[in-house]
Structure 1
Amino acid sequence: MSPTRALRRRPLRGAAALAGAAAFALAVTACSTSTASSNGTGSGTNYVGGTGEISTIEPGHRVAAPELSGKSVEGAPLSLADHKGKVVVLNIWGSWCPPCRAEAPHLAKVAKETESQGVQFLGINTRDLQTAQAKAFEKEFAIPFPSFYDPSGDLVLRFPKGSVNPQAIPSTLIIDRQGKIAVRALKELGADELHEVLDPVIAEK
């Protein structure tokens, strides 16, 4: 197995149904990162963990992303399945989160740069209790891609625990053309850093 690149992550614990949603809500309120986690080579997940922020998974060890569907921040139907066959960059964010605001211009930039390469950016807006806040965020940063409106974190909790589920706000997942999770970043990303992990997934055949 190849090593996983990572630096720091903030763990998020969630259980099923209402208990999981409550845990998620409490965990992300601070919108911060903490100390390193241990190497995640066990647990039968075929996932190589590390001691930091960004994890890359070899094609043979990737797990499928869950089905995600719902309404966008603008109220339109939105589904991950609609982008089957594309590389999808999925960013979990909230308008209340300073690191999310810091990375938003970089996400918008890379989304425009990679659109012609078969890349679709999507967001999951969480913990914004009104869509007005999320819409203002999207307008302020000229976000060119849609986001699921997920105020209670239900969509986030659909990801398999203990492997590549998002565990911080912001988090970014890169899903390959086969619908499997190739990269997880538990931090805000700059444009260069995002290209560094996204470009190899784009180049995969």
Structure 2
Amino acid sequence: MINAKQAAYTLLLAGVFCSTNFTADAQKKDFTLTGHITGLPDGELYLAYGTMKTMKADTAVTKNGDFVFKGKVSEPSYAMLFNKTYTVKIDLYVDATAPVIIEANIDSLYDAKVQGSPVVNEYAKYNQAQNDTRKPVQVIYEQWMKAYNDKDSVSVEKYKSQFNRARNEQSDMSRKMQLDFIQEHPNHPGAAWELMHYLDGKTLEKSKGLFGNLSKSVQASEQGKEVSARIATLSRIAVGQMAPNFQQLTTESAPVTLASYKGKYVLLEFWASWCGPCRAESPNLLKEYKHYKDKGFDVLAVSLDDKKDKWVEAIQKDGMPWTQVSDLKGWKNEVAGLYGINAVPANFLIDPTGKIVARDLRGEELGKALAKIFPM
């Protein structure tokens, strides 16, 4: 699955260069970021910064590993330094109260040193701790890829198993560290940024409490306001709530409403042709659809595509027979916004009355849920 934080990066990289929804420059203060990455080829680096909804990006030309960015922020803001191939990706905070300085080596970017104001330094300490959990996973991945290239099938299986286990352990550690940072730094603006990524349908109730424990200034920050708005959205589409109705068009421009599915169980599936995990789930969804479609089960898929030919091609290639709709606005799909979607795949199981009874059912979980609804 492309999780919330990965989706955030996808959103950022897909739309950051055309973002115009940001606070007027007159209300902002200047910040400066200077850096040196030893071994970095001459070229371009990008700095994306802001909140989830106000993200913008600047470009800097690098020479002998040196680079400088200058911009404006109304408050300390999350930022990501990256290049076109993403071989460089450094998470940090920028702040107008003091210059930000980055020192790194292209061969050990996990150990990049970021210094600046206390806000910048505290987030850098947290990010370094997160990176430390990723290093062992990266080492195993490199061993796995070497074995693959050497056509060493025995080692491939060994490292693949080790990688999956290490990645799961790392994910659990990362999640705990994220939660600890939110709880232990109520006055840090980064707590709102991390909460935005911790927050989903399964953590909604806990996230409400976490948000309530943030300082008033962090709650009132631009990122804090976005967290508050997302909590309101997720509360509206939580399990037990009535699914908001909508209308969108099929590939043949025929209007379809969610209300037209009342009287049967419907899985409202959010996906996209470019989403690998979504496509990988298609065979399982097709199996369950064929098994239960004559018993009162249906699927309504909403695509986050923005190119019709890619959307149609994926439908045909994967052999998906259920109704497909989209407004071809990509991540700005209006139904996705209505349902608070910031990661795909995502889905909602809706009962015959129109009530949401479950969400994010995939693989065996979907089969088990449907088996309880439609016993043999």
1:91 to 251, 266, 269: 269
The question of whether the paired residues in 2 share the 8 Å contact of 1:174 and 1:198 is answered with no
**What is the CA–CA distance in structure 1 between the aligned matches of 2:295 and 2:350, rounded to whole Å?**
14
The equivalent residue for 1:107 is 285
The equivalent residue for 1:182 is 357
**Any idea what the Cα deviations from partners look like across 1:99-136, whole Å, max 9, x if unmatched?**
1110111111111111111011110001x222111111
Question: Alignment partner of 1:136: what SS?
Answer: helix
The equivalent residue for 2:319 is 142
The equivalent residue for 2:344 is 169
Deviation of 1:201 (Å): 4.2
- Residue 65 (str. 1) matches residue 243 (str. 2): yes
- Residue 154 (str. 1) matches residue 305 (str. 2): no
Unaligned runs of 5+ in 1: 1-7, 27-33, 45-60, 160-164
Deviation of 1:178 (Å): 1.3
The question of whether the paired residues in 1 share the 8 Å contact of 2:3 and 2:344 is answered with no
**What is the CA–CA distance in structure 1 between the aligned matches of 2:249 and 2:286, rounded to whole Å?**
21
More strand per residue: 2
The question of whether the paired residues in 1 share the 8 Å contact of 2:261 and 2:352 is answered with no
More helix per residue: 2
Work out which of the two has the higher radius of gyration on C-alpha atoms and give 1 or 2: 2
1:118-137 to 2 correspondences below 5 Å: 118-126=296-304, 128-137=305-314
- Residue 197 (str. 1) matches residue 369 (str. 2): yes
Identity %: 29
The question of whether the paired residues in 2 share the 8 Å contact of 1:87 and 1:201 is answered with no
**What is the CA–CA distance in structure 1 between the aligned matches of 2:248 and 2:297, rounded to whole Å?**
21
The equivalent residue for 1:40 is 204
**What is the CA–CA distance in structure 2 between the aligned matches of 1:40 and 1:76, rounded to whole Å?**
35
The question of whether the paired residues in 1 share the 8 Å contact of 2:271 and 2:302 is answered with yes
One-letter code of the match for 1:125? S
**What is the CA–CA distance in structure 1 between the aligned matches of 2:358 and 2:347, rounded to whole Å?**
8
2:252 to 52, 67, 74: 74
> Could you state the TM-score of these two structures normalised by the residue count of structure 2?
0.38
Deviation of 1:147 (Å): 1.3
Deviation of 1:88 (Å): 0.6
Question: Alignment partner of 1:78: what SS?
Answer: strand
How large is the RMSD of aligned CA atoms in angstroms? 3.2
Deviation of 1:9 (Å): 5.1
**What is the CA–CA distance in structure 1 between the aligned matches of 2:360 and 2:341, rounded to whole Å?**
8
One-letter code of the match for 2:370? L
How many aligned positions are there?
159
Deviation of 1:179 (Å): 0.4
> Could you state the TM-score of these two structures normalised by the residue count of structure 1?
0.66
**What is the CA–CA distance in structure 1 between the aligned matches of 2:278 and 2:315, rounded to whole Å?**
11
One-letter code of the match for 2:350? I
**What is the CA–CA distance in structure 2 between the aligned matches of 1:167 and 1:183, rounded to whole Å?**
18
Structure with more contact order per residue of length (Cα contacts < 8 Å, sep ≥ 6): 1
The question of whether the paired residues in 2 share the 8 Å contact of 1:182 and 1:201 is answered with no
Deviation of 1:141 (Å): 0.9
Deviation of 1:150 (Å): 3.1
**What is the CA–CA distance in structure 2 between the aligned matches of 1:74 and 1:179, rounded to whole Å?**
26
**What is the CA–CA distance in structure 2 between the aligned matches of 1:86 and 1:167, rounded to whole Å?**
27
**Any idea what the Cα deviations from partners look like across 1:49-90, whole Å, max 9, x if unmatched?**
xxxxxxxxxxxx600111111201232221111111111101
Deviation of 1:167 (Å): 3.8
The question of whether the paired residues in 2 share the 8 Å contact of 1:131 and 1:149 is answered with no
Structure 1 pair 145/72, CA: closer, same or farther in 2 (3 Å)?
same
Question: Alignment partner of 1:178: what SS?
Answer: coil
**What is the CA–CA distance in structure 2 between the aligned matches of 1:166 and 1:117, rounded to whole Å?**
29
Deviation of 1:151 (Å): 2.6
Deviation of 1:40 (Å): 3.0
The question of whether the paired residues in 2 share the 8 Å contact of 1:125 and 1:147 is answered with yes
One-letter code of the match for 1:147? Q
